[in-house]
Structure 1
C-alpha cells in the first residue's frame, strides 16, 4: 500500500494549522505582493516632498465635496458605562446676564473660583438674591384739588420713600384705590358713613388686605438707621405672625399677615362706633395689636411731628396758602436727614482702597470724587437739624466733615465705609510697568502674580497665604450682608462717572438718599452750619516715602489707562459702560484675545475678583431696573432714564384750585 509523505504529519495538530497558514501567506506575498513597477528604488525616487506635496494636498482638498459642519455632541454615558463621568455646566438662570457680565446664583459663591461650580470661565458665582419683603403704602389723590407745586412735591416724597426702603433691602409698593376695590370687604365699607380721615384709613387697610402679608407704612415713614439695625433686620425676615403696631408712630407703621388684617377689618366694620372714629386703632379691641415700643429705626414725618420739632415748617403748615411751600421743603429735609444718619453710622470716615500705591492714581479719581460727595453736608432747608427718631444725632457741619483716607489695605471695620476699585489685571500691569505692549515673555519673567489681591488682603489675612486662600475673604467683603452694607465696589473699567446722571441715580438707590451733585468748591463759608458751599478737600495721597505723582505722571497714567480701555474693548472685555467688545477671533482681535487670556491665566485671583465685582454690580442694576419696570406708572415712579412718568394717581390739571394738605399726613 503506497504512502504519501506529508511533513506536517510529524507535527502536533495545532502546529500543523499554524505551519499551513504561514506557508500560504508567504506564497501570496511572493507571487502577488510585488511587480516590476513596484521596485523599491523607483518608489523612493518618486516620493513627493516640499512644494509638490503641498500642491497635491491642495488639489485633493479642492476636489472634495463641501461637508456641513456638525457641532460636537458628547456621547451619552450609557455608550461607555465604564468610562469617567463628565459634569455638565449648570443651566442659564433667568436675568443672569448684562452686557458681557454673566453670573450664576448659588450658595457656593464663597468658593475661590467660580469655574469650579459653573464649568465656565465667563460666569461668576454670586450669592442667591435675598428675598425683599414688600412694604406697602397707600396714595390716592383722586377727589382732592391740589396746585401743581403740591402735586410735584408729593411725587418727590414718594420717590424719597421708595428709595429709602429699597436701599434697606425691601421692595416698596405704592397702592391705590384699585387695590382697595379688589378686596371683598370693599362693598361693606362703601355702605358706611365714615369721617373723611376714617374713610382714607379704611381704604389703606382694604388695599393692604388685598395684597396680603407684609408691611404697611405711611409714605412719610422712612427707615433711618444702620442696615443691620435690630428692627430692620426683623422686618427683612418677612415673617409677621402677629399684627403689630408701634407706640409713638400712630398709624405710620403696621406689620401683619393676611388673616390678621382681614379679621381686624371685619371687627372694625361691625363696630357700631366706626362712624365717629378717625382711626382704625380706635375700633379695635385691646388684644388686636401687639404694641412695640422700640421703633428708633423709623422716622415718621407726620403733621404733629413737623409742627413740634421744626418751627420753620410749623409756621408754613398753620396757613393754608403756605402749605405747598412746606411740602416743597420736606423732600430736601428728609433727604438731608437720611444722608446725615448714614454719616453718623460711619463715624470713622470713608476709606478709598489703593492696594498698588504707585502709578494708579488715575484709577482712584472716581472713587475719591464719590467719597468727597458723601462726606460733604447735604443741602437742607433746616441746617443742623436731626431726624425725628434721632433727636441726639450729630448734625453735619461744614467745619468738620467726615474724614477721607486712602489706604493700601482693606480694613473690616464696622464704622468705616470702604470704596474699592478693582482693576483688570491687564489694566493694573500696564499702569504699574508703564507699558501698553504686554507679551508672554514679559508677563512670565517680569511680573508677579495676583498683585492686587495679595496687597489688598495683606492686613486682613496676613503673609504666607496663597492668593486663592484670600479670595473668599474679598468676596465676603463685597457681597455678604455685613460687607455690602459697609462698602461699595466697582471695576476700574466701569466706574460711576460724576458727569453721568444715570450713574449717580444708581448710587442714590444704593445709599438710599440723593448724593450731592453740584457743590461749590471754593472753600468759602459764611456760616458754621452745613450747606453745599463747603466741600471737603481731596484726601492726601501719602504712602511712606513715596513722592506724590507729578502732573506729567498723571498725564502718562491717563494715556495708558485710555489705551488699556481700548484694548479691553477690542479684546472682548468691554470698556466704559460695560458694553460688549468688538468682533472676536477676527483679524487683529485674535492676538488681543490671546494676550488677554494669557494675562488672566497668569493672574487667576485678580481676574476672579474682577469678574465677581463686575457681575455683582451688573446684577444689582438688573434687579432694580426690573422692579422699576414693574412699578412704572405708579406713584413716585420714574422712567428708565430717571424722567418722570405718568401716574395712575394723577388728576387732570385744575386751575385756581386751593392747595390742600393731604389727609395722609395726619394719620
Structure 2
C-alpha cells in the first residue's frame, strides 16, 4: 500500500473545503478575465442606438400602463362631469342615484351621486324696449320680468326673454315689413315671429305666471315639452300658447296672407278655428291683464289708467308687489297642514335648528301687498294670508311624508351632531366607539316613516327620494348647517327665491317706518316660534352650543386642530349612513345653485336677470 500524500486541505472540514475551492476559482476567473481593452458605451449612446433600431421595427399595440401581473385589476372612477363641483361639494349625475352609498359608483368617498338634471322646457316671453321710455317704468318692468323668470324657473321651466332681434331673424319678417298693420297687431305679430324663430315651446305674456301646486295637470303637461298642436287657453286671451314650430309659422303665414284691410288687434282674432285649439280647463296660470286688473284690483287699475304720469308709474310699481304676494299666498295654500321643522334629536339641538325655525316663521308670515287679503285672478276662492291665522309651524321628531305639509330639514354632519349631543369638542376614537350610537340622526328621523326593523343603510334611498325626487323636492327643503350659517344668509335667500318662485319675506320687508298694516304682520303680530321640544337650554348652554357649532364648522373645513381631522374621519366611518345623507344634501343644494348661476350667466345680457345692470343695453335702448 502506497503511502498517503500530504493534502493541506485535509485539516479542514469537507464543507469548508468546498467553499474554499469555489472562492479560489472565482478569484482566478476575475484575475484572468476581469481586465478588458474594449470600450463600453455610455448610457446615452446605448439609448441613441436603441432609438435608431426601434425606428426600423414595426409598431406594436401599446401595453396598458402600470401593467403588473401580480396586481389585482381595479376599475377607474367615472370622469369628472362639467359643472360638478362647488367649494368642497362634488357630485356625479347618474340614474343610479338611489344606490345607498355613492362611493360604490364613484369610487370616491367625497363624491355624491345625484339624479340627472331634469330637462327644462323653454318658456318664452316677448318684450320691446320701445314700450317704455322713462327710467322709473323701465325699473318696474325689469322687476316684473325678474318675477316672471323666478316663477317659471321654480316650476321646472327655462324662461327666456325674446325681443326684436329674434323676430327679425324669422324669414317671415320680410313679408311682415311690407304690410301696413295697426300698432297693436304689429306688436303681436312681432311676438309670434320671435316665437316662431325659436321653435317649439311655450309662449307666455310676462304678466302670465304659474300659480298652482307643482303637480298641477297643466304644469305637468307643459313640463313634458311635447306639444302636438298649437293651443291657447280659454280665459287667458293671448296670455299663454304652446305648440310646434311648423304650426306656429303656419299661423303667422295665415295672418300675413289675410286680405286687406286688416282691422284685428291680435293674431288670434285672425286665425281659423281649425288652426289653433282652445283648451277650456285650466286653473294654473294667473294672467294680470288690463281686464283682470280692472276686475279684481281696482285701486291699482285706477292708478295705471291715470293721465298723471306719476300716478301711472306708481300703479306700475305696485303691480310687482301684488304679484309676489299672490305667489306666496298660492304656496301657502298648497300646504294646509303648515310647515314642519324637523328635529329628530331634540336635546342640545336648539342652536342647530334655530335658523330653520326663523325661515319657517318668515314663510308663514304675510308678504307686503298693496291690496291685502286679495287672491290671484285664477284662484278667486283662495285662502288669503291673514296675520291672525298664520300658517301652523311644528317641530316633529320624525319625517312625515304628507303632501299638504312642507318640511324643512337641517341635516348635520355626524361630527357636528356628536359634538352637540355630548356637549364636547374633545372627542376620541375610544369615546366614539364605546359611547355614541351609529347613524343616530337617520334612524330617529325615519322611525315613524319606515318603522324600527329596517337597517340604517336601507333607509338611505328613502330619504334621498324625499330630498331629490320631483315629488319630494316640491314639498320639502333640506339644508346643512353651513347653508343656514349667518354669513350665508344672503345667498340662501337668493337661492330660495328661485327654488320657491318668490322672495322669502323677512321681518324688515314687512315694515314701513316701523309700522304695519293688518293683515301684514309687524313685530307685534309676527307668527310665534313653535314650542321647542326637549330640554330648553339656559343662556350659558346656548352660548356653549354656538361655540361647539362654530368649532365643528372649522373642523369640517379642515381648519380645526391637527388632531381633529382623524377624529372627523373616524366619526364619518362610524356613521356611514348619516355621512352619506349629509354629503347628498350638500351636493344637491350646491348643484341647484350651480345650475341657476350657469343659466344666469347665459342670460345676463338680457332683461329680467337678477342684479344685471348691464342688461339695459340690449332691451332698454337709450338715445
Indicate the TM-score class for this superposition, using the shorter chain for normalisation.
0.7 to 0.9
Aligned counterparts of 1:387 and 1:648: Cα–Cα separation in 2? 32
Moved more, 320-329 or 438-447: 320-329
Does the 8 Å CA contact 2:420/2:548 hold for their aligned counterparts?
Answer: yes
Counting matched residue pairs gives: 569
Match for residue 261 of structure 1 among 239, 243, 248: 248
Aligned counterparts of 2:511 and 2:239: Cα–Cα separation in 1? 40
Cα 1:358–1:341 shift into 2, 3 Å? same
Deviation at 1:31, TM superposition (A): 3.3
Match for residue 537 of structure 1 among 528, 534, 556: 528
Deviation at 1:85, TM superposition (A): 4.1
1:503-518 to structure 2, matched below 5 A, reads 503-518=492-507
Deviation at 1:540, TM superposition (A): 0.7
Partner of 1:88: 76
Deviation at 1:168, TM superposition (A): 0.5
Partner of 1:427: 416
Partner of 1:617: 589
Does the 8 Å CA contact 1:274/1:283 hold for their aligned counterparts?
Answer: no
1:114 correspondence with 2:102: yes
Deviation at 1:149, TM superposition (A): 2.0
1:312 correspondence with 2:302: no
Does the 8 Å CA contact 2:605/2:614 hold for their aligned counterparts?
Answer: no
Deviation at 1:315, TM superposition (A): 1.7
Does the 8 Å CA contact 1:366/1:498 hold for their aligned counterparts?
Answer: no
What SS is found at the alignment partner of 1:173? Answer: strand
Cα 1:644–1:386 shift into 2, 3 Å? farther
Aligned counterparts of 1:82 and 1:274: Cα–Cα separation in 2? 88
Partner of 2:620: 650
Match for residue 92 of structure 2 among 88, 98, 104: 104
Partner of 1:396: 385
Partner of 2:203: 216
Deviation at 1:317, TM superposition (A): 2.8
1:450 correspondence with 2:439: yes
Does the 8 Å CA contact 1:386/1:392 hold for their aligned counterparts?
Answer: yes
1:285 correspondence with 2:272: yes
Match for residue 122 of structure 2 among 134, 145, 150: 134
1:594-613 to structure 2, matched below 5 A, reads 594-613=566-585
Deviation at 1:275, TM superposition (A): 2.5
Deviations 1:594-652 (A, max 9, x none): 2221111111001000000000000000000000011102111133xx76753411132
1:335 correspondence with 2:324: yes
Partner of 1:298: 285
Deviations 1:54-96 (A, max 9, x none): xxxxxxxxxxxxxxxxxxxxx8399678985422211111100
1:410-489 to structure 2, matched below 5 A, reads 410-489=399-478
What SS is found at the alignment partner of 2:585? Answer: helix
Does the 8 Å CA contact 1:383/1:531 hold for their aligned counterparts?
Answer: no
What SS is found at the alignment partner of 1:103? Answer: strand
Unaligned segments of structure 1, at least 5 residues:
1-23, 36-74, 572-581, 583-587, 654-667
What SS is found at the alignment partner of 1:637? Answer: coil
Aligned counterparts of 1:608 and 1:305: Cα–Cα separation in 2? 50
What SS is found at the alignment partner of 1:419? Answer: strand
Cα 1:228–1:408 shift into 2, 3 Å? same
1:29 correspondence with 2:6: no
Aligned counterparts of 2:141 and 2:249: Cα–Cα separation in 1? 29
1:28-177 to structure 2, matched below 5 A, reads 28-29=18-19, 31-32=21-22, 76=64, 85-142=73-130, 144=131, 146-177=133-164
Does the 8 Å CA contact 2:339/2:405 hold for their aligned counterparts?
Answer: yes
1:501 correspondence with 2:476: no
Deviation at 1:570, TM superposition (A): 2.4
Aligned counterparts of 1:152 and 1:78: Cα–Cα separation in 2? 63
Aligned counterparts of 1:199 and 1:596: Cα–Cα separation in 2? 66
Does the 8 Å CA contact 2:214/2:474 hold for their aligned counterparts?
Answer: yes
Aligned counterparts of 2:485 and 2:200: Cα–Cα separation in 1? 37
Match for residue 341 of structure 2 among 346, 352, 361: 352
Cα 1:531–1:431 shift into 2, 3 Å? closer
Does the 8 Å CA contact 1:497/1:504 hold for their aligned counterparts?
Answer: no
Cα 1:342–1:273 shift into 2, 3 Å? farther
Does the 8 Å CA contact 1:189/1:269 hold for their aligned counterparts?
Answer: yes
Cα 1:94–1:83 shift into 2, 3 Å? same
Unaligned segments of structure 2, at least 5 residues:
1-13, 26-62
Aligned counterparts of 1:415 and 1:146: Cα–Cα separation in 2? 45
Moved more, 83-92 or 102-111: 83-92
Aligned counterparts of 2:415 and 2:198: Cα–Cα separation in 1? 51
What SS is found at the alignment partner of 2:408? Answer: strand
**TM-score, length-normalised on structure 2?**
0.87
Deviations 1:531-567 (A, max 9, x none): 456310111103xxx4322222211111111111222
Aligned counterparts of 2:516 and 2:269: Cα–Cα separation in 1? 51
